[in-house]
Amino acid sequence: MSSRHHFSLDDRAVILQGVLNHCSIRHIAAKLKVSPSSVSRELKVHRSLSDNISKSSGILCTRIIKAPWVCDGCPNLAHCGHRKYRYSPQQAQRIYEEQLHSCRRKVRTGSVGLDHINHVLTPLIRDQKQTLGHIYASHAEELGISRSTCYRYIDQNLLQINNLDLPKRVRYPKSTLRKARGDNSGIDGQKCRENRDYATFQAYIAENPHARIAELDSVIGKSGADQKVLLTILFRSSNFMLAFLRDKNSSDSVIRCLDHIQHRIGHARYRTLFNVSLTDNGSEFKNADRIEHGQLGAQRCHLFYCDSRASQQKGRLEKNHEYIRKYFPQGTSFNTLNQEDVNLMMSHINSVRRDSLDGRSPFDMLSRAERKDMEKLGIRPISADEVILSPKLFIK
């Protein structure tokens, strides 16, 4: 039985007749095969104040502050001095049809319609670098046009924005540059990979299908021994990404970041979120025993490695790095950042609504316990219209 129902004029006549016959709201609802709250809401929303108001009209009768909400059917109606509310099926139907027409009316073309679309889109795309997917998750009804129509308007130069304002509409050749990882020759023979290769990972997941998977990687800013780098972590279940600033790309810096996370959220929560940790063959991840056991020596995760030159095996994290590059293009130094800046950036990134998540953001995908964990790590949701995906975020 639905709690939301579109009543017809005949349905509304049945409601009025039920009220006149002193039937209960539940009885009327059963007759119409809807929930009692639908009938109650209909009477309360579409009742109207009577024009025939006596001198004592400021007094409210108990009949109109609870069901049935209207004075129809009251035996004292003719000589009552209280404020009166009446229900008219015809008037309720007319108001309903007007509201239905208004909410379905869409902004399309013409100078007024295009000005409205420009007013919504331009500041969000040009100033805050938001994606159309994120905007449509919050403003689809306000825009009044489909996303494909919006793209067509942009292609036809009908709007103030153009394809250059939408980075994903402009395709660039894939870069053949690889991240500076140091010498990884002979990585397949490293001892740290024993019983931790990708085939072992697949076998473990097959036996433990509900295990949480966290993907780990490094993002290099500007190459150099004195340049800061980011440790990035993505939780597959929610597409939520964390980032931690490190002074250099070393295994010790990675372990310090993971120890920090464990200290902030606790050993039990760490084992839940990082139950299975998948990373690549970078030298910063080669201290497998230390990554798995932490300072206390108790196992906190199961670490596995991707195959060599197979970044697609943790493709979700690689894909999410595109958001970081909106703030810091390839070759941009991270040396001016501190962890508070990184937390702010990740708060905005994780608040972006995405097509891959059915219009939801990674924050929306988190459980209540996971949200508390992220708050302990300094990451908090940003309202949809406040999301910024450009270096403007760091302008003080």
Which CATH number belongs to the domain containing residue 211 in this structure? 3.30.420.10
CA dihedral 115, 118, 120, 122 (to 10 degrees): -150
74 in the same domain as 132? no
In the block, tokens 């980032």 appear at 243
Whether 180 is covered by a domain: the verdict is no
| CA distance linking residue 338 with residue 296, whole number of Å | 28
Please, which pLDDT band fits residue 178 given cuts at 50, 70 and 90? very low
When mean pLDDT is compared over 153-167, 253-267, 296-310, the highest value belongs to 253-267
If you average pLDDT over every residue of the chain, what do you get?
Answer: 85
186 or 321, greater pLDDT: 321
Tell me, yes or no, whether 320 and 361 share the same domain.
yes
Averaged pLDDT, 93-100: 82
Residue 262 forms part of a structural domain = yes
Q: Which of 103, 125, 147 is the last residue of a domain?
A: 103
Q: For residue 246, tell me if it sits in a domain.
A: yes
Sign of CA dihedral 319, 324, 325, 330: negative
Q: Which string of DSSP letters, residue by residue, matches 268-291? A: HHHHHHTSEEEE-S-GGG--HHHH
pLDDT of residue 188: 44
Strand locations in 88-193 (E): none
227 shares a domain with 81: no
Containing domain of residue 13, as a range?
Answer: 9-103
Q: Running DSSP on this structure, what letter comes out for residue 219?
A: E
Residue 176 within a domain: no
* Tokens 């929610």 belong to residue: 238
Q: 302 near 236, Cβ under 8 Å?
A: no
Q: Are residues 46 and 66 in the same domain?
A: yes
* Percent of the chain clearing pLDDT 90 (strictly above): 52
Range name among 15-19, 96-100, 200-204 with the lowest pLDDT average: 96-100
- Do 209 and 304 share a domain, yes or no? yes
Both 138 and 234 in one domain: the answer is no
pLDDT band at 216 (very low <50, low <70, confident <90, very high): very high
Please check whether residues 134 and 234 belong to one and the same domain.
no
Residues 301 and 339 in one domain: yes
Q: Is residue 302 part of a domain?
A: yes
Domains: count for the chain: 3
Question: Within this chain, do residues 329 and 390 fall inside the same structural domain, yes or no?
Answer: yes
Give 33-53 pLDDT, tens digit per residue.
Answer: 999 988 998 998 888 887 555
Same domain, 161 and 211: no
The two structure tokens encoding residue 392: 């403007």
Res 342 pLDDT > 70: yes
Q: Which of residues 170 and 243 earns the better pLDDT score?
A: 243
Q: Answer yes or no: is 258 within a domain.
A: yes
